[in-house]
A and B are shown apart, each in its own frame.
Chain A
Amino acid sequence: MTITNEPRLVGARVVRVEDPRFLTGKGRYIANHVLPGMRHARFVRSPFAHARITGIDLSGLPEGVAAFTGQDWAEYSIEGTSRYEGFQAAPMPILAVDKVRFVGEPVVMVVADDPYTAEDAAETVLVDYEPLPAVTSVEQALREDAPLIHEDWTSNLFVPRAYQSPGYESEKAAGPLSVQGRFINGRHSGVPLENRAVLAEVRDDEIVVRTATQIPHLVKTAIANAMKVPENTVRVISPDVGGGFGVKAQAYPEEVACALASRALGVPVKWLEDRREHFLASHHARDHVHDASLHFTEEGRITALTATVHTDMGAYSVFPWTATMDTGMAMGILPGPYKFTGYKVEGYPTCTNKVPFGAYRGVARPAACFTIERLVDWMARDRGIDRLEARRMNLVQPEDFPWNSAGGLVYDGGSLVESIDVMKEWIDYDGLVARQAEQRKQGRLVGLGMAIFTEQSAHATEEFSKRGVPIVFGYETATLRLDSTGHLTIAASIHSHGQGLETTLAQFAGEVLGLPLDRVKVVFGDTNQVAYGSGTFASRSAVLAGGAARLAAVDIRRKLEKIAAHLLEASEEDLIFTEEGVSVKGSPQSNVTMAELCRITYQRPDLLPEGVTPTLEASRTYDAPPGQGTFTNALHVGTVEVDPGTGQVTLDNYWVVEDCGVMINPLIVEGQIHGGVAQGIGTAMFEEMIYDEDGQLLTTTFMDYLLPTAKDVPYIGTKHLETPSPSTEGGLKGMGEGGAIAPGAVVAGAVEDALSELGRVWVSQIPLTPERVLRYIHEAKENG
């Protein structure tokens, strides 16, 4: 549907309309919500990774404090069950019943007058445990004699997965050379600055749960299912959210617990997670181990990839993703942007006594990118080819699109090869590589790393149907109402927690009606105000909600055209929509303001053309074609210097050439890239959840779990290519996650390059702590 008005809002670098409330301290985070009679919850959590609960003593509770145990709510649970055949399911209890399965699992909930006394009260609860052997690694979990975490299962494996491309054997044989390794990505997570937060209130016959979530409707469904009540008795409101990154894209037991407690006590119940709880109970992610071999020819042409994916999924399968998400995603995207067709992969999502594993920006793709890009670097080194050129010759070429990938995905287009040319020229790649080689000869450990990838974005119904998830989410809905004053309200079923969608949806849909941004309001987050939809994750909201909103805006425009043509006695084709209103091409004196047009529509139906109803509302549901998603691409390059005496890595430069199709707002695109890269730098160098052998989590504060600071993230340069998606509304592609995908591979490649003068090493584990790097330095010297 091509409608363009001048000046165009799409593509404009406009500032965000949501900023003033955050800049003045008026963010509407859950913590800031206060309800009359509100009380405060605190959870008593398991100190053991695996234990039987043999007794709970509540006799020490101060007067007036309420408490709930697993027995009180044993009939309720959250079910993250996959439709894959053979999937071993286990409901996630609201509070542990009989047994605990990870350190941090909620066991008792106390409700007191304020957070201070709630914490005092929680300390008086005595729980007796009979410890059981803990399963704290995938390797241990998969042993024949491993203790079963869920006793009715046959093993600790959720469900094994396997895939082999047609022609794998012959393609593998066509590539007689190979490089291989074990690629390890540490366990970490999104760690938004705002912890989780819930405020539940049961009033009349409605359960209102305010919660910091990315997926209000899905949480509503989870609560209704858990509490066994009709969905229309549950309302979920997610106001401003202080960062999500996937951590807040699951339904959590605490959300149900607050609703149950509020129903039992008849007062609003608030729970603000503290940072230690966030590490102990908000879902972890990223923990992948890949064993992989890349097969190639003498010339360095890749023919096949063989891989095994192990993921440590923790104690329960999460809703709505299930425990198969990361393994499946990795299995699909491991072949990366390359043209080979031989591919064999097995995946083992495994249950352990750890915090359940959920979504984090980029889901599995950082690990997949790390594996394939490290292998390509090693192949290039083995063959003596420049690393960028090794990529260029193996990429899916422009004429190959749409490309059926070895992993079974359809890459719909992009600018992979072009991104290499642009990057080379932009950063004077050849000169930079030569200068670094010279500096290395003089003893400095400087190096350059790179990663190129294609990212599935805005995947819709077809993709999620394939994944066997309990709820197939694909479509999003937007309802638009142009009111009698000429102001537009967009009610969207997605959410925004920093991505700027209040601005970009207004740009994308408002443009159709010629409306300036200050006349468009975007609402989301309240399930009573917006149509059912999945929420914000998987680089999809601008494409799906934007597509829906734009289509609905076109519907309204068509109606306005009819009305205006009638009023101005002109033909519909001759109308121009601008900020001033609607005028007739060639006779600008013949015009009507938008406010007047809208007022007439609502208040003077007698003036409307025959058969036209006096409303300006439209609702559209959009399931972006192709259902498998539209693919973005990016090339990241970074340079480092390694301290030879300590192994400390300093990131000097970071450059991104990316293509996310048509950009609604380049300023916001760049912000998303910067943020993703910074999180990827955390992945590459700092962030790791570390468990001891008893299953105790050792990283439970910001002293132990290290987030990148302003001194750890370099200036990040960005350049855009704009290959419109061939299939989506307006040619948009998703781009929220991309930045986070490549930095692990980039930093690892750069460190390996920096040590190259000392000797050959195979950098295959992140995060690259100073100690790990120092070990690589020693190894390089030994291999020298």
Chain B
Amino acid sequence: MIDVPAEGQVTVEFTVNGVHHSVETSPRMLLADLLRDRLGLTGINLGCEHGYCGACTILVNGESVRSCLMLAASADGAEITTVEGLSRNGELNPLQQSFQEAHGLQCGFCTPGMLLTATELLEGTEGPLEEDQIREAISGNICRCTGYVFIVDAIRRASERRDA
């Protein structure tokens, strides 16, 4: 049982991009702010802080989650992936490469959330993806720049690439 007063500190232990962390946080701290401000994971962008834009999407235990709608304290024990965890050794992973090749980003603000949502989609499916499937999966991620056309292309390209 955890019981902490408003002005107290909660200890949260979790794994982020494969690295274990133990952090003290105030009860009201949002997970997005904790990851950004304390762990420096500023690839998490905050676009609305009420769960609608999807820019702050991360993977928690493999599932896409709005990090602005999760208390940091609730993330105790979680396994978290952020955009910083996608590329290894400075190389873009195949999904990231597909986004670059297809011009699936412009200002880049929605991109991390879009990539993580697409990562979840790719991990939960097999074979080349259909346009409708992709659009459904990213329907909770707002992009204001691209009109989605090239994002859909990028994800489809990644889905074809994984089976090649």
Contact = CB atoms under 8 A, between A and B. Distances in A.
A–B: direct contact at CB < 8 Å: yes
A116 B107 contact: no
Interface stretch (A16-24, A129-137, A326-334): A16-24
Contacts of B82: 25
A16 B140 CA distance: 26
B144 A245 contact: yes
Given A116-B26, A500-B106, A710-B134, 11 more contacts: A15-B103, A20-B92, A25-B43, A29-B42, A240-B108, A242-B45, A242-B107, A242-B109, A674-B148, A675-B145, A710-B139
Interface string B128-153: 00010011101111111111111110
B62 to A, nearest CB: 19
Nearest to A672: B106
A18 B99 CA distance: 12
B53 A23 contact: no
Given A22-B111, A25-B83, A715-B149, A193 B99 contact: no
Contact of B42 (A25, A192, A679, A713): A25
Given A671-B146, A716-B149, A27 B108 contact: yes
Given A668-B103, A713-B148, A193 B43 contact: no
A154 interface: no
Nearest to B84: A25
A143 interface: no
B65 interface: no
A241 interface: yes
Interface residues of A, number: 58
B83 A711 contact: no
A218 to B, nearest CB: 20
Nearest to B108: A22
Given A275-B48, A671-B106, A23 B149 contact: no
Contacts of B36: 31-32
Interface in A589-642: none
Contact of B139 (A16, A21, A709): A709
Nearest to B50: A701
Contacts of B106: 243, 498-500, 671, 675
A1 B141 CA distance: 45
Contacts of B44: 25
Interface of B is mostly: loop
B71 interface: no
Nearest to B42: A32
A512 B82 CA distance: 41
Contacts of A567: none
Contacts of A138: none
A29 B135 CA distance: 27
Contacts of B111: 22-23, 27
A710 B154 CA distance: 13
A18 B50 CA distance: 29
Contact of A194 (B45, B83, B96, B151): B45
For B29, B47, B50, B149, the residue with the greatest tally of chain A CB atoms inside 10 Å of its CB is: B149
A23 B115 contact: yes
B105 interface: yes
A53 interface: no
A709 B138 CA distance: 8
B108 A711 contact: no
20 contacts: A25-B112, A27-B42, A193-B45, A193-B143, A243-B144, A275-B49, A671-B103, A671-B106, A671-B145, A674-B148, A675-B145, A675-B147, A676-B147, A703-B50, A707-B142, A710-B141, A710-B152, A711-B135, A711-B136, A711-B139
A23 B99 contact: yes
A195 B44 CA distance: 14
A240 B112 CA distance: 15
B149 A29 contact: no
B46 A24 contact: no
A32 B26 CA distance: 21
A242 B142 CA distance: 13
B142 A193 contact: yes
A83 interface: no
B86 interface: yes
A520 interface: no
A194 B103 CA distance: 20
B87 interface: yes
A683 to B, nearest CB: 13
A26 B42 CA distance: 7
B20 interface: no
B55 interface: yes
B104 to A, nearest CB: 9
Contacts of A709: 139-140, 142, 148
B147 A192 contact: no
Interface residues of B, number: 57
Given A16-B100, A193-B107, A674 B146 contact: yes
A678 interface: yes
Most chain B beta-carbon neighbours within 10 Å: one of A29, A242, A701, A703? A242
A497 B28 CA distance: 33
Contacts of B53: 193, 275, 702, 707
Contact of B131 (A497, A671, A673, A715): A715
Contacts of A32: 36, 42
A31 B144 contact: no
A670 interface: yes
Interface in A183-230: 190-195
A739 B141 CA distance: 21
Contact of A678 (B49, B134, B147, B152): B147
Contacts of B115: 23
Interface string B48-64: 11101101000000000
The 6 lowest CB-CB distance pairs between A and B, nearest first, are A25-B43, A22-B108, A242-B109, A498-B106, A674-B147, A498-B107
B110 interface: yes
A20 B100 contact: yes
Nearest to B107: A498
B41 interface: yes
A26 B145 contact: no
Interface in A656-687: 667-668, 670-671, 673-679
A75 interface: no
Contacts of B139: 709-711
B101 interface: yes
Nearest to A275: B48
Contact of B107 (A243, A702, A710): A243
A702 B52 contact: yes
B98 to A, nearest CB: 10
Nearest to A240: B108
Contacts of A694: none
A671 B107 CA distance: 11
A195 B45 CA distance: 10
Interface string A230-255: 00000000001111110000000000
Interface in A16-66: 16, 18-27, 29, 31-32
Given A25-B82, A193-B55, A701-B50, A667 B142 contact: no
B86 A24 contact: yes
A702 B141 CA distance: 12
A274 interface: yes
The winner among B115, B136, B145 for most chain A CB atoms within 10 A is B145
Contacts of A713: 147-149
Interface string A726-756: 0000000000000100000000000000000
Given A20-B92, A31-B42, A678 B146 contact: yes
